[in-house]
Amino acid sequence: MKNTKKLHVGLLFGGNSSEHDVSKRSAHNIYDAMDKNKYVVDLFLIAKNGVVLSSQASRKIFDGADENKVVANEMKKIDFSKPLANISNLNSVNDIDVFFPIIHGNLGEDGTIQGLLRLLKKPYVGSGILESAMGFDKDITKQLLTYHGIQNTKYILLTPANYKQWNYAKLSHQLGKLIFLKPANQGSSVGIHQIHNQSEFESGLKDAFKYDYKILAEQAIEGPEEIEISILGNEHPIASQLGAIKVPKQDKFYTYQNKFVDASQVHFEIPVKVSQKLTDRITKMALDAYKVLGLKGMARADFLVSSSGEPYLGEVNTLPGFTNISLYPQLWKASGISYSDLIERLIKLAYQEFDRQSKLRHDFEPLD
């Protein structure tokens, strides 16, 4: 890390996914947790139309200005006839030492922003291009987990090319009477539906296809308990204590509503009281998955534990939430790492990975 009085951090947030507002809340918490004696922070909001706003405009929205009005005003200042106009406001990157992207979902977790930051030759918090893309795609994640013997739920992939071959009866014969439909590349429980019959299958699939062209029809786990674990590190990651999510009975699973809109009926048990055997098994599965996917910096792994005590890895989140109720920082706090210390560790890990990658790159020398 550079030996300067203050490190200049570029905090990237927003994005054009359904998790835009969640990202804004995460950015506020990260900003507040940063030690201003150590860091100077520039804000860059990616608007819902995919345009990177100037630091000044981003600050206005960050401080509570009407986003639609600020964005409309910013659009008038950008010459869209020029190439790369939508990211032209990143011209100040020469002054930024390290980026902290906290863009949940599309653009942030799928490798897109990581590719841009790689081109800019800047360190950034979190996993790389391929690793982010693999972790974001539930289908690819589950294929890799299965190949490496990490237990996860059985599923059938539905696409525009094959979905007409399937109906509820065929799916339930292979997956059971209760089925979950999930967009492969989506987060925060958006587009997820519980399916009990053909009518729900048709309506749920129609909605899920609004978010992705790959839909997982996934096996439901009997009497599941949702357990989370946070991972931190690069080549030698560490795991937090386990936490459990207790959702209202009427919701039946952890919805977008009770994640980010009204969590008053949700109970978090941190740390959760489970057997040491189950704790060790989940911890090993999470660390193994982290390494299999090649993740860096951070991730939260979500598990379902059946009524018989069997853990199934549901998914990994490579840029987990940092809102007031987000489990990633809460689990680390319960494990002895404060919010500000967590941010500092993530930035140090970004530099370590950048230095490691830099040693692997060299100019191409053509053969004689």
Which residues have a catalytic role annotated? 19, 188, 326
Locus of tokens 């790492």:
337
The total of other beta-carbon atoms located within 10 Å of residue 68's CB is 11
At 312, the amino acid letter reads Y
* Beta strand segments in the chain, E: 7-14, 39-46, 98-101, 155-158, 179-183, 193-195, 215-219, 225-233, 238-246, 267-269, 297-305, 311-317
Please, what is the angle between helix 339-360 and helix 327-334, to 10°? 110
Question: Can you say whether the dihedral through the CA atoms of 19, 109, 298, 43 is positive or negative?
Answer: negative
Tokens found for residue 84: 């790369």
Strand partners, 10: 42, 99
At 89, the amino acid letter reads N
Tokens found for residue 348: 């140090």
- Please, are residues 303 and 281 in contact by the beta-carbon 8 Å criterion? no
Strand partners, 193: 181
CA nearest to 182, candidates 220, 131, 151: 220
Name the binding residues for Mg(2+).
Answer: 302, 315, 317
* Helix intervals (H) in 76-111: none
Q: How far apart are CA 153 and CA 308, in angstroms?
A: 15
Q: How far apart are CA 193 and CA 258, in angstroms?
A: 15
Q: How far apart are CA 249 and CA 357, in angstroms?
A: 47
Q: How far apart are CA 312 and CA 247, in angstroms?
A: 18
CA nearest to 313, candidates 346, 288, 342, 277: 288
